[in-house]
Protein backbone atom coordinates (compact mmCIF):
# COMPACT_ATOMS: atom_id res chain seq x y z
CA UNK A 1 0.00 0.00 0.00
CA UNK A 2 1.38 3.35 -0.98
CA UNK A 3 1.61 6.00 1.67
CA UNK A 4 0.77 9.45 0.49
CA UNK A 5 3.07 12.14 1.71
CA UNK A 6 0.96 14.99 2.86
CA UNK A 7 2.67 18.38 3.00
CA UNK A 8 1.01 21.03 5.04
CA UNK A 9 0.70 24.64 3.85
CA UNK A 10 3.24 25.67 6.50
CA UNK A 11 5.73 23.07 5.25
CA UNK A 12 5.19 24.27 1.66
CA UNK A 13 6.00 27.80 2.74
CA UNK A 14 9.20 26.64 4.46
CA UNK A 15 10.28 24.60 1.41
CA UNK A 16 9.58 27.54 -0.90
CA UNK A 17 11.60 29.87 1.35
CA UNK A 18 14.47 27.36 1.31
CA UNK A 19 14.38 27.11 -2.48
CA UNK A 20 14.43 30.92 -2.81
CA UNK A 21 17.33 31.22 -0.32
CA UNK A 22 19.41 28.53 -2.06
CA UNK A 23 18.70 29.99 -5.52
CA UNK A 24 19.61 33.51 -4.37
CA UNK A 25 22.83 32.21 -2.83
CA UNK A 26 23.79 30.38 -6.02
CA UNK A 27 23.14 33.49 -8.13
CA UNK A 28 25.14 35.66 -5.69
CA UNK A 29 28.02 33.16 -5.73
CA UNK A 30 27.95 33.06 -9.54
CA UNK A 31 28.12 36.85 -9.72
CA UNK A 32 31.10 36.91 -7.35
CA UNK A 33 32.89 34.19 -9.30
CA UNK A 34 32.27 36.01 -12.56
CA UNK A 35 33.82 39.19 -11.15
CA UNK A 36 30.61 41.13 -11.46
CA UNK A 37 31.09 41.91 -7.80
CA UNK A 38 32.43 45.42 -8.34
CA UNK A 39 29.89 47.87 -7.08
CA UNK A 40 29.35 51.14 -8.86
CA UNK A 41 31.70 53.73 -7.34
CA UNK A 42 30.16 55.97 -4.69
CA UNK A 43 29.94 59.60 -5.80
CA UNK A 44 31.07 62.38 -3.50
CA UNK A 45 30.94 66.14 -3.60
CA UNK A 46 32.97 68.53 -1.45
CA UNK A 47 32.64 71.28 1.10
CA UNK A 48 35.37 73.88 1.65
CA UNK A 49 36.19 74.03 5.35
CA UNK A 50 39.12 76.47 5.13
CA UNK A 51 41.07 78.37 2.46
CA UNK A 52 44.78 79.09 2.74
CA UNK A 53 47.20 81.05 0.58
CA UNK A 54 49.29 79.01 -1.84
CA UNK A 55 52.31 80.20 -3.84
CA UNK A 56 50.75 80.80 -7.25
CA UNK A 57 54.14 80.27 -8.91
CA UNK A 58 54.29 76.71 -7.54
CA UNK A 59 53.68 74.19 -10.33
CA UNK A 60 52.47 71.66 -7.77
CA UNK A 61 53.36 68.04 -8.51
CA UNK A 62 53.55 66.54 -5.04
CA UNK A 63 51.94 67.46 -1.73
CA UNK A 64 52.17 65.92 1.72
CA UNK A 65 51.33 66.98 5.29
CA UNK A 66 53.66 65.90 8.07
CA UNK A 67 53.96 67.01 11.70
CA UNK A 68 52.26 70.36 11.21
CA UNK A 69 53.83 71.35 7.89
CA UNK A 70 53.10 70.96 4.21
CA UNK A 71 55.81 69.55 1.99
CA UNK A 72 55.54 70.31 -1.69
CA UNK A 73 57.31 69.35 -4.89
CA UNK A 74 57.11 71.62 -7.92
CA UNK A 75 57.81 70.81 -11.54
CA UNK A 76 59.00 72.22 -14.88
CA UNK A 77 62.56 72.11 -16.20
CA UNK A 78 64.64 74.85 -14.62
CA UNK A 79 61.98 75.63 -11.97
CA UNK A 80 61.62 72.41 -9.96
CA UNK A 81 61.91 72.55 -6.18
CA UNK A 82 61.31 70.64 -2.98
CA UNK A 83 59.91 72.85 -0.24
CA UNK A 84 58.55 73.04 3.27
CA UNK A 85 55.50 75.31 3.63
CA UNK A 86 53.64 76.86 6.55
CA UNK A 87 49.99 75.86 6.27
CA UNK A 88 48.40 78.95 7.84
CA UNK A 89 50.21 81.52 5.71
CA UNK A 90 51.32 79.56 2.66
CA UNK A 91 54.79 80.92 3.34
CA UNK A 92 57.65 78.86 1.89
CA UNK A 93 59.90 78.17 4.88
CA UNK A 94 62.61 76.25 3.03
CA UNK A 95 63.15 75.49 -0.63
CA UNK A 96 65.80 73.55 -2.51
CA UNK A 97 66.06 73.76 -6.30
CA UNK A 98 66.61 70.74 -8.50
CA UNK A 99 69.17 70.86 -11.28
CA UNK A 100 67.69 72.33 -14.47
CA UNK A 101 67.49 68.99 -16.29
CA UNK A 102 65.12 67.49 -13.71
CA UNK A 103 61.34 67.95 -13.68
CA UNK A 104 60.09 67.40 -10.12
CA UNK A 105 57.05 65.19 -9.58
CA UNK A 106 55.39 63.42 -6.64
CA UNK A 107 56.70 63.26 -3.09
CA UNK A 108 56.04 61.17 -0.03
CA UNK A 109 57.53 60.99 3.47
CA UNK A 110 58.54 57.69 5.01
CA UNK A 111 60.95 57.05 7.91
CA UNK A 112 61.61 60.81 8.20
CA UNK A 113 62.86 60.95 4.62
CA UNK A 114 61.24 62.66 1.65
CA UNK A 115 61.13 60.61 -1.54
CA UNK A 116 60.76 62.71 -4.72
CA UNK A 117 60.15 61.46 -8.25
CA UNK A 118 61.16 63.11 -11.49
CA UNK A 119 59.06 62.96 -14.61
CA UNK A 120 61.17 61.40 -17.39
CA UNK A 121 64.68 61.02 -15.93
CA UNK A 122 64.02 57.59 -14.31
CA UNK A 123 65.59 59.09 -11.22
CA UNK A 124 64.28 59.76 -7.73
CA UNK A 125 65.78 61.75 -4.87
CA UNK A 126 65.85 61.07 -1.13
CA UNK A 127 66.04 64.05 1.26
CA UNK A 128 66.31 64.51 5.00
CA UNK A 129 62.86 65.71 6.03
CA UNK A 130 64.05 68.46 8.37
CA UNK A 131 66.99 69.97 6.48
CA UNK A 132 65.87 69.08 2.90
CA UNK A 133 69.46 67.93 2.41
CA UNK A 134 69.81 65.55 -0.53
CA UNK A 135 70.89 62.17 0.88
CA UNK A 136 70.84 59.81 -2.10
CA UNK A 137 69.20 58.85 -5.37
CA UNK A 138 67.45 55.81 -6.80
CA UNK A 139 66.26 54.75 -10.23
CA UNK A 140 63.09 53.25 -11.67
CA UNK A 141 62.17 52.17 -15.20
CA UNK A 142 58.94 54.12 -15.75
CA UNK A 143 57.97 57.78 -15.86
CA UNK A 144 57.43 59.29 -12.43
CA UNK A 145 54.11 61.00 -11.67
CA UNK A 146 52.69 60.58 -8.15
CA UNK A 147 53.87 58.80 -5.04
CA UNK A 148 52.49 58.00 -1.59
CA UNK A 149 53.01 55.21 0.97
CA UNK A 150 51.00 52.86 3.15
CA UNK A 151 53.59 52.87 5.95
CA UNK A 152 55.26 49.76 4.58
CA UNK A 153 55.54 50.25 0.82
CA UNK A 154 55.84 53.19 -1.54
CA UNK A 155 52.95 53.44 -4.01
CA UNK A 156 53.75 55.16 -7.29
CA UNK A 157 51.92 56.21 -10.46
CA UNK A 158 53.46 56.71 -13.91
CA UNK A 159 50.60 58.27 -15.89
CA UNK A 160 49.10 54.93 -16.92
CA UNK A 161 46.39 53.00 -15.05
CA UNK A 162 49.02 51.02 -13.10
CA UNK A 163 50.06 51.62 -9.50
CA UNK A 164 53.46 50.22 -8.49
CA UNK A 165 54.17 49.14 -4.90
CA UNK A 166 57.89 49.54 -4.10
CA UNK A 167 60.08 48.40 -1.23
CA UNK A 168 61.15 51.69 0.44
CA UNK A 169 64.71 50.47 1.00
CA UNK A 170 65.55 48.73 -2.30
CA UNK A 171 62.98 50.52 -4.52
CA UNK A 172 62.21 47.17 -6.16
CA UNK A 173 58.63 46.70 -7.37
CA UNK A 174 56.99 44.16 -5.08
CA UNK A 175 53.47 44.38 -6.48
CA UNK A 176 51.41 46.26 -9.02
CA UNK A 177 47.67 46.76 -9.51
CA UNK A 178 45.69 48.09 -12.44
CA UNK A 179 43.14 50.71 -11.57
CA UNK A 180 39.74 50.03 -13.06
CA UNK A 181 36.28 51.55 -13.13
CA UNK A 182 34.71 49.16 -15.66
CA UNK A 183 37.68 50.07 -17.88
CA UNK A 184 41.25 51.10 -17.06
CA UNK A 185 41.54 54.52 -15.41
CA UNK A 186 44.57 56.17 -17.01
CA UNK A 187 46.46 59.37 -16.13
CA UNK A 188 46.71 58.58 -12.41
CA UNK A 189 48.64 61.53 -11.04
CA UNK A 190 49.28 62.87 -7.52
CA UNK A 191 48.44 60.33 -4.80
CA UNK A 192 47.56 60.18 -1.12
CA UNK A 193 47.03 57.16 1.10
CA UNK A 194 44.04 57.86 3.38
CA UNK A 195 42.52 55.38 5.83
CA UNK A 196 43.43 52.33 3.78
CA UNK A 197 42.46 53.76 0.37
CA UNK A 198 44.49 55.50 -2.32
CA UNK A 199 43.21 58.89 -3.41
CA UNK A 200 44.42 59.85 -6.90
CA UNK A 201 44.21 63.01 -8.94
CA UNK A 202 43.38 62.27 -12.58
CA UNK A 203 45.46 64.43 -14.94
CA UNK A 204 43.34 67.20 -16.55
CA UNK A 205 40.20 66.33 -14.58
CA UNK A 206 38.57 67.92 -11.54
CA UNK A 207 38.06 64.50 -10.06
CA UNK A 208 39.76 62.36 -7.43
CA UNK A 209 39.51 58.57 -7.62
CA UNK A 210 39.25 56.57 -4.39
CA UNK A 211 40.99 53.27 -5.09
CA UNK A 212 41.03 49.94 -3.26
CA UNK A 213 44.78 49.15 -3.00
CA UNK A 214 44.19 45.38 -3.04
CA UNK A 215 41.97 45.15 -6.13
CA UNK A 216 42.63 48.41 -7.99
CA UNK A 217 38.87 48.95 -8.18
CA UNK A 218 37.72 52.57 -8.04
CA UNK A 219 35.32 52.58 -5.10
CA UNK A 220 34.50 56.28 -5.20
CA UNK A 221 34.83 59.50 -7.17
CA UNK A 222 35.10 62.94 -5.58
CA UNK A 223 33.82 65.61 -7.97
CA UNK A 224 35.71 68.86 -7.31
CA UNK A 225 34.12 70.84 -10.13
CA UNK A 226 34.10 74.55 -9.37
CA UNK A 227 36.55 74.48 -6.46
CA UNK A 228 38.87 76.95 -8.13
CA UNK A 229 36.91 78.75 -10.84
CA UNK A 230 39.14 81.84 -10.72
CA UNK A 231 41.97 80.01 -12.47
CA UNK A 232 40.08 77.86 -14.93
CA UNK A 233 41.06 79.95 -17.99
CA UNK A 234 44.56 78.47 -17.98
CA UNK A 235 44.83 74.76 -18.86
CA UNK A 236 48.08 74.52 -16.88
CA UNK A 237 46.27 75.47 -13.69
CA UNK A 238 44.85 72.06 -12.99
CA UNK A 239 43.89 70.29 -9.80
CA UNK A 240 46.96 68.41 -8.56
CA UNK A 241 47.91 67.87 -4.95
CA UNK A 242 46.25 65.92 -2.16
CA UNK A 243 47.58 65.91 1.40
CA UNK A 244 46.15 64.35 4.54
CA UNK A 245 46.73 65.12 8.20
CA UNK A 246 45.97 61.79 9.84
CA UNK A 247 46.15 63.25 13.35
CA UNK A 248 43.28 65.69 12.84
CA UNK A 249 41.66 63.97 9.84
CA UNK A 250 42.08 67.04 7.63
CA UNK A 251 42.14 66.69 3.84
CA UNK A 252 43.88 69.34 1.73
CA UNK A 253 43.83 69.91 -2.03
CA UNK A 254 45.44 72.44 -4.33
CA UNK A 255 46.55 72.74 -7.95
CA UNK A 256 49.30 73.89 -10.26
CA UNK A 257 49.82 77.63 -9.91
CA UNK A 258 46.72 77.96 -7.72
CA UNK A 259 46.69 80.90 -5.35
CA UNK A 260 44.70 78.88 -2.82
CA UNK A 261 44.97 75.59 -0.99
CA UNK A 262 41.74 74.23 0.46
CA UNK A 263 40.86 72.06 3.41
CA UNK A 264 37.82 70.12 2.27
CA UNK A 265 35.38 67.54 3.50
CA UNK A 266 33.93 65.04 1.10
CA UNK A 267 30.25 64.22 1.33
CA UNK A 268 28.42 61.39 -0.31
CA UNK A 269 25.88 62.36 -2.97
CA UNK A 270 22.70 60.41 -2.21
CA1 LIG B 1 49.99 63.58 -1.82
What's the CATH number where 197 sits? 2.130.10.10
Structure confidence at residue 234 (pLDDT): 74
Taking 70 as the pLDDT cut, the residues of the chain under it are 1-38, 230-233, 235
Is 17 a member of any domain?
Answer: no
Split into its structural domains, the chain has a count of 1
Question: What is the DSSP pairing of strand 207-211 with strand 197-202?
Answer: antiparallel
Is 34 a member of any domain?
Answer: no
Is 28 a member of any domain?
Answer: no
Is 19 a member of any domain?
Answer: no
CA of 197 to the centre of ligand 1 (A): 13
Structure confidence at residue 33 (pLDDT): 43
CA of 105 to the centre of ligand 1 (A): 11
What DSSP character marks residue 217? B
Is 16 a member of any domain?
Answer: no
User: Going by C-beta distance under 8 Å and a sequence separation of 6 or more, which residues neighbour residue 263?
Assistant: 48, 49, 50, 51, 52, 250, 251, 252
Structure confidence at residue 39 (pLDDT): 81
CA of 260 to the centre of ligand 1 (A): 16
Structure confidence at residue 36 (pLDDT): 46
Is 1 a member of any domain?
Answer: no
Structure confidence at residue 236 (pLDDT): 82
Structure confidence at residue 8 (pLDDT): 61
CA of 190 to the centre of ligand 1 (A): 6
Range of the domain at 120: 42-268
Is 4 a member of any domain?
Answer: no
Structure confidence at residue 30 (pLDDT): 45
CA of 151 to the centre of ligand 1 (A): 14
Prediction pTM value: 0.85
CA of 265 to the centre of ligand 1 (A): 16
CB under 8 A, 24+ apart: contacts of 219-222 = 219/39, 219/41, 219/42, 220/41, 220/42, 220/43, 220/44, 221/41, 221/42, 221/43, 221/44, 221/181, 222/44, 222/45, 222/46, 222/266
Is 98 a member of any domain?
Answer: yes
Q: What is the pLDDT of residues 206-229, one digit of tens each?
A: 999 999 999 999 999 999 999 987
Amino acid sequence: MKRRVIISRKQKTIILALIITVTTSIIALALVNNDFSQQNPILYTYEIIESYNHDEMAFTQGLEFDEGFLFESTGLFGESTIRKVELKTGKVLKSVSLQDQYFGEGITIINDKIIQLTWISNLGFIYDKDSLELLSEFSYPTEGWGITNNGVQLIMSDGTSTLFFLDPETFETVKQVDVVDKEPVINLNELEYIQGKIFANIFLQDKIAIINPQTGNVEGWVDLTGINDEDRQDPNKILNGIAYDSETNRLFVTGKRWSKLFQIEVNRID
